[in-house]
Chains A and B, each alone.
Chain A
């Protein structure tokens, strides 16, 4: 009998990887990728097989740790949200130059429509950039099947393989038929490790061999069962990438080329073009394929998609936008309701960040020139009413470094607000810059003892922050820990005021456990009794 389980796309990738002989998952939490690692952390077989699954400090350390495991001959997976690719890009791009030993699969979960992100960058560009194969599952079953396929492909090509998910695959559930179990690889480092040493002389050789490998990479894509052209007589051809295939098939469209493996299957596209006079490219994210198909077929052939405005240029695909692009959209029965107001997310009741912002906003009333540089996490919501406390949020760690640059330029007070997990992810190095120049900034590390935004994962620096700051050279006299509770408001405000008045680097650490992890812990304790 077939073994059927109901899984999120993320979970299907995870289970597929476990069953394919994974030895280590390396990741930093990020929506919509977090559940991949969490599934492996909870999975009994993963425990039995001793699969590494502890969180890494950031995506770059994760990528490099996975590369080390691949070096040793074992199968490793790295996963992250799309912007994590920017953090690990150095390691990722160069892992294609070194090549790999044990299978290495990198999973990037893109977030078109920015449900929980600051941009909608398309990770397929990274695959092209690094010249590695990209897999883009269209459904949860493919998420599962592609994990094993990706590891085999990686070991055959001796290259990392990138798997690109989007939110609607990652966070959608469907039943999945599971396959057989494969053993884990044995420890088997290569005897000749020269290709791992990217001195220019070796790197040139390696890069040339990567370029040469592209013919094989392309031909495997042409043959892939995940790319499928079902020709049918129609003047319109539709190229449907990843999840877009579902929206197209839901509408019963014919003459469709399904693309789930890149580089693009060029011969199938040329075949389609010979039989029709117009091609619509349906892809989630940025117009990666549309541009390529345009270049392939030349100016004389009509290619439509997000660039031509047939599909919206921004935001995720929906069944509605795809139906409209195909001229199959009917008007909904009901117009939007009138009595509906936006309900934006907000900081939880009792959250420690609330007390931090209450104090900070009060103190800064006396400093109208002050600017507050924010960071990525729950506390980013401090930018919204009622606090309206933040002047910037850009990327992980940018609070401290932007505050420093602004202070260099003459802004005073320059305040940075960063969470505990974000600080260890990418804030520490910036703090060293600030210390080395004794920049006039006040850094607030709002420590809630967890990575809260993504659901409460362990935070790499918990119980180490004072030592980290001292180690980086922060003057202990200007390193203050406070308890952010409403009762202590006067004391917190006093500390903030004093440290703003100090013209050098100050670090204030308001520390109180996240309400969600606290409640979960208390419930568990109660259940245990």
Chain B
């Protein structure tokens, strides 16, 4: 069994924390993992992407081949669209629906939404707004992970939830609780 995920977002949104939490869960479950990430210049408010590969068999390539990703997980809708070439025919897009506009020529939001909806398997929600409403504004990335969890198969939602706790534990109990709350909201949203 394998799961190739393209993680996407804007520098500072918390893409790499999602990757690390999944990494913690994978190690715990004894699953092979490779995760290539972007550092340095690309992080300064620019687009950020991470190739995340999970498999029960050893993995060679650090990067996902175009057309082979099982999922795009994105914290921003245009960033989700940026990587559709990587998506397999029946791949899923799990994304935040809220545009993050920090460039002058950001596409028309109606057109962007229509193009996103034209893909067969899309799960989206405004996790930025929902996390503010839930009183956990800094945890929208974990809400997205919760939304993606039921589709990840190779790792159970329970395993991911444990990894959220483990990853945030050094930052104190309040931070753990906030992130678990966000994760659960995301998970319930999709399971309904």
Contacts and interface: CB of A to CB of B under 8 A. Distances in A.
Nearest to A248: B60
Nearest to B64: A319
B81 interface: yes
Interface centre among A243, A247, A332, A385 (most CB of B within 10 A): A332
A454 interface: yes
Interface in B56-102: 59-67, 78-79, 81-82, 84-89, 91, 102
Interface string A167-192: 01101111100000000000000000
B35 to A, nearest CB: 4
Given A175-B32, A337-B84, A341-B103, A250 B61 contact: yes
B34 A174 contact: yes
A339 B111 contact: yes
A168 B65 contact: no
A1 interface: no
B192 to A, nearest CB: 28
B61 A173 contact: no
B62 A339 contact: no
Interface stretch (A52-60, A199-207, A216-224, A344-352): A344-352
A329 to B, nearest CB: 9
B115 A339 contact: yes
B41 to A, nearest CB: 4
B46 A243 contact: no
A234 interface: no
A238 to B, nearest CB: 14
A31 B40 contact: yes
B34 A173 contact: yes
Contact of B61 (A319, A333, A345): A319
Contacts of B32: 174-175
A249 interface: yes
Nearest to B47: A343
Contacts of A378: 44
Contacts of B79: 343
Contact of B44 (A320, A342, A346): A346
Main secondary structure of the interface of A (DSSP, over half): loop
B2 to A, nearest CB: 11
B44 A348 contact: yes
A246 B44 contact: no
A257 to B, nearest CB: 16
B100 to A, nearest CB: 9
A169 B36 CA distance: 8
Contacts of A299: none
A318 interface: yes
Nearest to A31: B40
Interface in B21-71: 23-24, 27, 32-47, 59-67
A345 B27 contact: no
B111 to A, nearest CB: 5
Given A4-B27, A173-B35, A341-B106, A115 B40 contact: yes
B150 interface: no
B82 A340 contact: yes
Contact of A247 (B24, B47, B61, B172): B61
Contact of B65 (A31, A115, A116, A323): A323
B127 interface: no
Given A116-B42, A331-B67, A346-B102, A246 B107 contact: no
Contacts of A247: 60-61, 63
A471 to B, nearest CB: 32
Nearest to B12: A348
Contact of B23 (A6, A318, A348): A6
- Name the residue in B24, B62, B79 with the highest tally of chain A Cβ atoms < 10 Å from its Cβ: B62
Given A116-B40, A332-B67, A345-B46, A169 B62 contact: yes
Contacts of B43: 345
Given A319-B64, A336-B84, A341 B107 contact: yes
Given A31-B41, A173-B33, A246-B60, A319 B46 contact: no
A358 to B, nearest CB: 17
Interface in A438-486: 453-455
With a 10 A CB-CB cut-off, give which of B35, B61, B104 has the most chain A CB atoms. B61
Given A175-B27, A331-B67, A343 B10 contact: yes
A172 B36 CA distance: 4
A237 interface: no
Interface in A242-260: 243, 245-247, 249-250
A361 B107 CA distance: 29
A332 B86 contact: yes
B14 interface: no
B173 to A, nearest CB: 12
A455 B35 CA distance: 20
B112 interface: yes
A340 B41 contact: no
A171 B11 contact: no
Given A4-B27, A243-B62, A338 B40 contact: no
A331 B86 CA distance: 11
A381 B103 contact: no
A175 B31 CA distance: 10
A250 B59 CA distance: 8
Nearest to B89: A333
A330 interface: yes
Nearest to B78: A340
A335 interface: yes
Interface in A292-327: 318-320, 323
A347 B46 CA distance: 10
The list of the 7 closest CB pairs from A to B, nearest first, reads A332-B67, A31-B40, A116-B40, A345-B46, A337-B81, A345-B44, A319-B65
9 contacts: A174-B32, A174-B62, A331-B67, A332-B67, A334-B87, A343-B46, A346-B45, A346-B46, A348-B45
Given A116-B41, A336-B85, A453-B40, 9 more contacts: A6-B24, A32-B40, A172-B34, A174-B32, A246-B61, A318-B65, A323-B65, A341-B106, A455-B39
